[in-house]
């Protein structure tokens, strides 16, 4: 070997070493990789193998509430199974076996969450789900995370993942109340409305305050454009004028959707210190950070909402119907170390406008890590239009076993497996589920003499 060759080899060595170290570092921080999956004998479980799943000290989520059956830290809680259609959901102060420590009550007893088995379920496996009435009907503070008060949370959980399915009868972001002005005739609930030829809406009804409730079909024009417009009922022929001022100015006026919360997350039971996060139909707030992202919820349809929160790194990531809605940063100093952990203070609908709203809630999944398994209807998670979060029962860095939650999946063999790591990153390419693949039978010890 000549001197020039030796020089080139010596010069290349550091580069190759750096490349090798970079590859190792990349592997450590890389997203999970799924290399195999096998269905259990009765196809109720799925074992997934691969790399980069990370360790998950407790495989099970903190809470998986299907109402039919609920799991708290992996253990079955059958408290709500005795509830029948129409029964109000008890809180921890009323029952030692309650799943939720808080819920709408008091003056709003009529809109307190109830059990329904008569409304259309989200999927065939669901026999019951939560039914919510009005503008302020919520569940809150999972006992599995905070004890009987809902606030005795573990100290310093830095992450929170929440997945839930929510169906409002009318899209909350388009729900308005207005006073009848120069009313002639009588509107028919459910009939279409023509508002000044510039907007269309659906008449919902008249609430106990005598206000007309309506939902715009699309994002309405500016309020200024609506003022004084004639509101015509297409079927009834009834007419009234859109008020020319907000109802706060007097007892007569209009009331826009305002702030309708889908979820609120708190650390401090008093809501004064630490994390205070809320997600409304129009924005998200945490500390002094306000992120303007409208959640495009569909009225009359089940919507899948997901929240990923990391208080150590200071970021929040939201998904609606399998698509990322928004991601934003906040000051990690908001987190109060040594005291609490962020928990679900309320989930459902908390607002002021939707007096005649009806909502449905099902399949609530809460955990203190972003690690999870989903089955999606596309090979790329970004192309998925539907996925279901699964129920893990075993988890280590190279193997996961889940109880299959089919949900609204029509054909499980057409779906793909995605494993999310503790940063919320899934495997780049979904792994197909083999409908014909089964675990081999258990080994039989056979002794021949």
Q: What confidence tens digit (pLDDT) does each residue in 400-449 have?
A: 999 999 999 999 999 999 999 999 999 999 999 975 565 554 454 544 44
**C-alpha 268: how far from its chain's center?**
22
To the question of pTM greater than 0.95 for the whole model, the response is no
The chain-wide mean pLDDT, for the chain, equals: 90
Segment 84-102 shows an average pLDDT of 87
Look up residue 231 and give its DSSP letter. E
Q: Please write the tens of the pLDDT for every residue from 143-180.
A: 999 999 999 999 999 999 999 999 999 999 999 999 99
Cα separation of 87 and 70, whole Å? Answer: 17
Q: DSSP labels for 242-279? A: --SSBGGGSSSSEE-----EEEEEESSTTSSSS-EEEE
pLDDT above 60 (res 323): yes
Helix (H, G, I), strand (E, B) or coil at 410: coil
Beginning with the edge strand found earlier in the chain, give each strand of the sheet holding 416-420 in spatial order.
Answer: 387-389, 372-376, 416-420, 431-432
Count of all residues that appear for the chain in the document: 449
Query: CB–CB of 74/60 below 8 Å?
Result: yes
pLDDT digits (tens, 9 = 90+) for 246-292: 999 888 999 999 999 999 999 999 989 999 999 999 999 999 999 99
- Distance of alpha carbon 81 from the chain centroid: 23
Residues 6 or more apart whose CB falls under 8 angstroms from that of 166 comprise: 262, 297, 302, 303, 305, 348, 349, 359, 360, 361
Instruction: Yes or no: say if 346 and 112 are a contact pair by the CB < 8 Å rule.
Output: no
Structure tokens at 265: 């997350």
As a whole number, mean pLDDT of residues 62-91 equals: 93
| pLDDT tens string 29-71 | 689 999 999 999 888 999 999 999 999 999 999 999 999 899 9
Measure the CA–CA gap between 211 and 355, rounded to whole angstroms. Answer: 10
Contact, 129 vs 116, CB < 8 A? yes
Are 265 and 252 contacting, i.e. CB atoms less than 8 angstroms apart? no
Closest CA to 395 of 145, 32, 60: 60
Confidence of residue 393 (pLDDT cuts 50, 70, 90): very high
Look at residue 9 in the predicted model and tell me its pLDDT: 42
The predicted pLDDT at position 214 comes to: 98
Average pLDDT rounded to a whole number, residues 217-226: 95
Cα gap 203→341, rounded to integer Å: 43
Report in angstroms the alpha-carbon separations of 438 from 48, 260, 320.
12, 47, 33
pLDDT (mean) for 235-254: 95
pLDDT value, residue 110? 65
| pLDDT at residue 21, rounded to an integer | 37
Give exposure, 68-80, as e/b (b: 16+ Cβ within 10 Å): bebbbeeeebebb
Q: Could you tell me if 204 and 356 are in contact, meaning their C-beta atoms sit under 8 angstroms apart?
A: yes
103 contacts 348 by C-beta, under 8 angstroms? no
Q: What pLDDT is stored for residue 239 in this prediction?
A: 98
């Amino acid at each position: 070997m000549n001197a020039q060759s030796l020089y080139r080899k010596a010069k290349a060595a550091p580069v190759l070493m750096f490349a090798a170290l970079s590859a190792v570092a990349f592997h450590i921080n890389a997203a999970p990789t799924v290399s195999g999956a096998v269905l259990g004998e009765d196809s109720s479980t799925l074992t997934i193998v691969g790399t980069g799943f990370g360790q998950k000290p407790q495989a099970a989520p903190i809470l998986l509430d299907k109402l039919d059956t609920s799991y708290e830290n992996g253990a079955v809680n059958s408290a709500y199974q005795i509830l029948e259609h129409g029964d109000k959901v008890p809180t921890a102060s009323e029952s030692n076996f309650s799943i939720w420590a808080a819920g709408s009550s008091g003056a709003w007893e009529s809109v307190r969450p109830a059990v329904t088995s008569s409304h259309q379920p989200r999927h065939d496996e669901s026999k019951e789900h939560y039914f919510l009435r009005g503008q302020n009907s919520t569940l809150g503070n999972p006992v599995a995370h905070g004890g009987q008060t809902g606030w005795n949370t573990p100290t310093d959980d830095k992450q929170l993942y929440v997945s839930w399915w929510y169906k409002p009868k009318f899209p909350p972001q388009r729900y308005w109340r207005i006073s009848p002005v120069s009313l002639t005739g009588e509107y028919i609930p459910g009939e279409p409305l023509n508002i000044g030829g510039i907007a269309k809406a659906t008449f919902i009804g008249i609430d106990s305050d005598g206000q007309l409730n309506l939902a715009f079909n699309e994002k309405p024009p500016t309020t200024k454009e609506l003022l004084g417009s004639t509101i015509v009922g297409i079927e009834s022929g009834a007419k009234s004028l859109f008020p020319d001022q907000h109802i706060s100015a007097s007892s007569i006026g209009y009331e826009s959707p305002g702030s309708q919360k889908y979820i609120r997350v708190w650390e401090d039971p008093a809501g004064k210190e630490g994390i205070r996060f809320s997600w409304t139909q129009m924005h998200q707030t945490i500390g002094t950070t306000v992120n303007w992202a409208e959640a495009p919820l569909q009225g009359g349809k089940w919507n899948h909402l997901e929240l990923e929160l990391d208080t150590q790194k200071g970021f929040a990531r939201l998904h609606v119907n399998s698509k990322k809605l928004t991601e934003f940063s906040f000051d990690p100093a908001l987190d109060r170390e040594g005291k609490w952990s962020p928990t679900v203070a309320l989930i459902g609908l908390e607002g002021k406008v939707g007096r005649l709203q009806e909502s449905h809630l099902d399949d609530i999944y809460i955990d203190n890590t972003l690690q999870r398994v989903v089955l999606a209807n596309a090979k790329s998670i970004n192309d998925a239009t539907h996925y279901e979060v699964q129920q893990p029962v075993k988890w280590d860095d190279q193997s996961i076993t889940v109880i299959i939650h089919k949900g609204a999946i029509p054909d499980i063999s057409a779906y793909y497996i995605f494993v999310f790591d503790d940063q919320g990153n899934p495997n780049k390419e979904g792994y197909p589920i083999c409908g014909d693949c089964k675990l081999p039978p258990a080994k039989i010890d056979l002794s021949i003499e």
